[in-house]
Structure 1
Amino acid sequence: MRVVVSGGGTGGHIYPALSLIKEIKRNHQDAEILYIGTEQGLEADIVPREGIPFKTIHISGFKRKLSFDNVKTVTRFLVGTRRAKSMIKKFQPDVVIGTGGYVCGPVVFAAAKLKVPTVIHEQNSVPGLTNKFLSKYVDRVAICFEEAKQFFPKEKVVFTGNPRASDVLNIDSEAGRNSLSLNPNKKTVLIVGGSRGARPINDAFLSVIHEWSKKDYQVVYVTGSVHYDAVMEKVKQTSHSDRVIIKPFIHNMPDVLGAIDLIVARAGATTLAEITALGLPSILIPSPYVTNNHQEKNANSLKTNGAAIVLKEQEMSGERLMQEIDRVLTEEGKWQKMHVAAKELGVPSAANQVYQLLRDTAR
């Protein structure tokens, strides 16, 4: 089996692609993979480190407002499509899949024009411009939220879930607990604002840091590397409990997710795939700075089903955050209801479902 995979820009597009590649290799040890990304995106660092053959094209995204930059983008798209066609002709894939990001535009479009079977994978409840455009040309559209179905030709849509969910099936919760020196007899809440952190969440947390010592649960707070020094400087100026563990970043996040009882986080698609696969209750604070406000719509999908509490950033305070955490961890039956609801939304077999879709679509 020969597969071209394209996805880039952010981890939300790259990590599902890597999870899918693992699944392809698990089913076909002799499978040949070519990953096409950009030199500027995170994929240029992450993908080669995984030992996956990697090539690049140059592309940028469209501006939503009228801009001369869009003329440049059209030119780059045409040049990128020609380069992608050359790569695809040489590699001769059985199928091409795009997992999101601008780079998928020319790559998947080139494959479709060459009559190579094509699939796009949409992680969010509201698709971006690239996948909306590509949906007219591809053979299949894989989605993770039922809400996304309305944006695509209905005869092409298949609900698969996010391949990243499958990665949490192999977690070592004890290793996650030990890595943070957590007390196994205490409930644990993880508060994280994404890989780079989120200042509003930092500010809310710090405003009530002295209150955590009164709680009967422990808190792991991940500041994000860029905010860590500033947060720790403020922490030094106040008293706080040893039940509060502060880290700049967590590298073994899947293992840690298996060791906690509640997560406070943004509402990126990868995060939601992981926590629903585990049946982990959540308090979601969607980022208001993303395209189409898709994180809020992702979060509301969990809220509607009773799996999450959603707090808008502008409504959040330290007191409100602590109040909601208390509700989940102390109100009788609350945690269990959210756990069951989250589990019902999870698709732990998502990687295999996307793989099966690829196999059925391939020539």
Structure 2
Amino acid sequence: MKIVISGGGTGGHIYPALALIREIQKETKEAEFLYIGTEKGLESTIVTRENIPFKSIHITGFKRKLSFDNLKTVFRFLKGVSTSRKILKEFKPDIVIGTGGYVCGPVVYAAAKLKIPTIIHEQNSIPGLTNKFLSRYVSKIAVCFEEAKDYFPKNKVVLTGNPRAQEVIGKDGIRGRISVGLSTTTPAVLIFGGSRGARPINEAVVKSLSELGKKPYQVLYITGDAHFEEVKKEVELVGNPQNVVIQPFIHNMPEVLAGIDLVISRSGATTLAELTSLGVPSILIPSPYVTNNHQEKNARSLEIQGAAEILLEKDLNNKSLIKNIDRVLLDKEKLTGMKKKAKKMGIPDSACRLYKLMKELVKQK
């Protein structure tokens, strides 16, 4: 079986794609892959590091306001479609899967016009422009939130969940704690702002350090590579409590998450998939800088079910941060209830579901 996968721009589009690839490799040893992305996106380094064949096209996203740049984007899209057609005709895939980001537009559109079975995977509760456009042409649409179904043709939509959720199952949480220097017996909070970090979260945490040092729990605080040196200088001035571990980035996030009692983070789709799959309670600080405010809408899905609480960035400061952590983590009954509700929302066989959908389409070809 030959499979083309396209997705890029952010880790939220790339990591689900890699999780699906790993599931397919496990089930179909002879599967061949080609990943199509952009040179400037994160995918060009992340995917090639995984030794997956990679080809690039040049494409940019549309501006939501009227702009001359949008005319350029139209020309780049048409050129991207032409380049994608050539790549697809040469590779001859059995199926093409788009996991999000504007690079999917020309790739999946070209595949649909070549009558190749196609799937788009929408990770968020509110779809982006690219997936809304592609929904008219693709064979099937895989979604992670029930709410997303309302934006697509009903006969095409299948709830599969996020393949990344399946990858975190069965990890050793004790080993995860030890790997980052956390005690295996004290309650643990993980605070992070996504793969690149988030300045407002970092500022609130740094101002909270002296107070956190007095708490009966421990904190793993991930600053993001881009912010680490700056945070390090500030921490040197205020002091680093013994119960707070500060790191720029961790590469074994699934293992660490498995050993955590409470997470404070942004509400990107991949993060929420991991949290619900493991049943980890969370206090979510949605990024207000994303398209359609989709992070807050993602977070509200968990809040409604009682699996998470929301702290808006405009209300975030050192006092509100500590108040919210204490209110959840120090109330055992509340924490246990949130764990159960988070777990109930999880789709732990998400990669299997998407792989099954893919196989059905190929069989019908």
Could you tell me how far apart the structure 1 residues matched to 2:322 and 2:242 are? 17
Match of 1:289 in 2: 289
Instruction: Give the whole-Å Cα distance in 2 for the aligned partners of 1:276 and 1:332.
Output: 19
List 4+ stretches of structure 1 deviating above 4 A.
Answer: none
Find the aligned partners of 1:131 and 1:295 in 2 and give their Cα distance: 17
Deviates further, 324-333 or 119-128:
324-333
1:91 deviates by 1.4
| Distance (whole Å) between structure 2 residues aligned to residue 79 and residue 42 of structure 1 | 22
- Aligned to 2:237, what secondary structure does the other structure show? coil
Instruction: Provide the rounded CA distance (Å) in 2 between the counterparts of 1:87 and 1:233.
Output: 48
- Corresponding residue for residue 326 of structure 2: 326
Residue 192 of structure 1 pairs with residue 198 of structure 2: no
Cα distance in 2 for residues equivalent to 1:317 and 1:182: 25
CA contact (8 A) 1:212 1:240 kept: no
Q: Does 1:3 align with 2:7?
A: no
- Please give the residue correspondences for 1:236-255 in structure 2 after superposition, counting only pairs within 5 Å: 236-255=236-255
1:227 partner SS: helix
Consecutive unaligned residues of structure 2, counting only runs of 5 or more, are none
**What's the offset of the Cα at 1:213?**
2.2
Give deviations 1:291-314, integer Å, cap 9, x for gaps.
111000000100000000101100
What residue identity is the alignment partner of 1:313?
Answer: E
Q: Which amino acid aligns with 1:205?
A: V
2:234 & 2:53 partners in 1: Cα distance? Answer: 45
CA drift of 1:346 comes to: 0.6
Aligned residue for 1:137, secondary structure, equals coil
Task: Spell out the pairing of 1:142-291 with structure 2 (5 A cutoff).
Answer: 142-291=142-291
- Give the letter for the 2:345 counterpart: L
Aligned to 2:13: 13
Q: Where does residue 314 of structure 1 map in the other structure?
A: 314
CA RMSD, 1 decimal: 1.0
How far apart, CA to CA, are the structure 1 residues paired with 2:238 and 2:94?
A: 60
Counterpart Cα distance in 1 of 2:28 and 2:229: 46
Give the aligned residue type for 1:89: K
Normalised to the residue count of structure 2, the TM-score between the two structures is 0.97
Take 1:192 and 1:269, find their aligned partners in 2: how far apart are those partners? 15
Partners of 2:80 and 2:336 in 1: CA distance: 50
Maintained 8 Å contact 1:171/1:255: yes
In structure 1, distance between residues paired with 2:223 and 2:287: 15
**What is the distance in 1 between the residues matched to 2:206 and 2:35?**
42
- Unaligned 5+ residue runs, structure 1? none
Q: SS of the residue aligned with 1:73? A: helix
Conserved? CA contact 2:166–2:349, under 8 Å: yes
Given the alignment of the two structures, is residue 50 of structure 1 paired with residue 46 of structure 2, yes or no? Answer: no
Match of 1:59 in 2: 59
Post-superposition offset of 1:170 = 4.1
After superposition, give the CA deviation of every residue in 1:94-114 in whole Å (9 maximum; x if it has no partner).
Answer: 111100011100000001101
Whole-angstrom distance in 1 between the partners of 2:330 and 2:148: 35
Aligned residues: percent identity? 60
Residue type at the aligned position of 1:59 = I
C-alpha distance in 2 between matches for 1:43 and 1:232: 29
Name the CA shift for 1:63/1:185 in 2 (closer, same or farther; >3 Å): same
**Which SS does the other structure have where 2:197 is aligned?**
coil
8 Å CA contact 1:144–1:159 kept in 2: the answer is yes
- Deviation, 1:190, is 0.5
Does the CA-based 8 Å contact 1:194-1:224 persist in structure 2? yes
* 8 Å CA contact 2:57, 2:84 repeated in 1: yes
Cα offset for 1:238?
Answer: 2.1
In structure 1, distance between residues paired with 2:170 and 2:338: 22
Determine if contact 1:16/1:99 at 8 Å carries over to the other structure.
Answer: yes
Contact 2:178–2:184 (CA under 8 A) maintained in structure 1: no
User: SS state of the match for residue 208, structure 1?
Assistant: helix
SS at match of 2:142: strand
Per-residue CA deviations over 1:73-132 (Å, capped at 9, x if unaligned) read 111111111111111112111111100011100000001101111110000011110000
Which AA in structure 2 matches 1:22? R
3-state DSSP of counterpart to 1:220: strand
Describe the SS at the equivalent of 1:214. coil
Instruction: Report the 3-state secondary structure (helix = DSSP H, G, I; strand = E; otherwise coil) of the residue aligned with 1:101.
Output: coil
Per-residue displacement from partner, 1:145-174 (whole Å, max 9, x unpaired)? 111111111111000000010110242323
Alignment of 1:118-137 (within 5 A): 118-137=118-137
Secondary structure of residue in 1 paired with 2:220: strand
Q: Secondary structure at the match of 1:61?
A: coil
